[in-house]
């Protein structure tokens, strides 16, 4: 007794279940065969290796895509956290700048009060005595 032939449709369905292939991928595989004029009721034997490879690659790509999405979500969370940290630093830096500006303004105000009270110098009181003369030796 001859073993019953496995059709393309049955192989596609079985591989889709085993690999968790998306319905759109399964539809594209079916359309590929139909577009080439190959009936889905034909034997899948000549195409078994290619079907296994296609479904395996599709599963691998889906897995990698899932990992990439998870990494992207982690990256977005890290960027958001970093933004919060930078915002906190910015607030602290602005507070420090304002405090320094207030101290500087208070110091300038204190200096101007001192300069009013400080004794005034008379011109020549602390001048160095310099006699103009020729620059060459005499």
- Given a cut of 60, whether residue 104 has pLDDT beyond it is yes
Q: Which of 41, 11, 34, 16 is nearest to 26 (CA)?
A: 16
- Given a cut of 60, whether residue 20 has pLDDT beyond it is yes
Q: What is the mean pLDDT of the chain?
A: 87
- Given a cut of 70, whether residue 120 has pLDDT beyond it is no
Rounded mean pLDDT, 72-77: 96
- Given a cut of 80, whether residue 22 has pLDDT beyond it is yes
pTM of the model: 0.57
């Amino acid at each position: 007794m001859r073993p019953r032939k496995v059709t393309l449709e049955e192989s596609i369905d079985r591989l889709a279940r085993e690999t968790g292939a998306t319905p759109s991928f399964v539809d594209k595989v079916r359309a590929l065969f139909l577009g080439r004029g190959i009936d889905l009721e034909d034997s899948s034997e000549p195409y078994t290796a290619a079907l296994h490879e296609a479904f395996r690659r599709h599963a691998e790509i889906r897995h990698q895509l899932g990992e990439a999405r998870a990494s992207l979500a982690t990256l977005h969370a890290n960027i958001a956290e970093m933004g919060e940290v930078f915002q906190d630093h910015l607030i602290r830096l602005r507070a420090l700048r304002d405090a320094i500006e207030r101290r500087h303004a208070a110091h300038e105000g204190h200096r101007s009060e001192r300069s009013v009270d400080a004794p005034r110098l008379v011109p020549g009181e602390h001048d160095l005595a310099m006699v103009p003369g020729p620059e060459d030796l005499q």
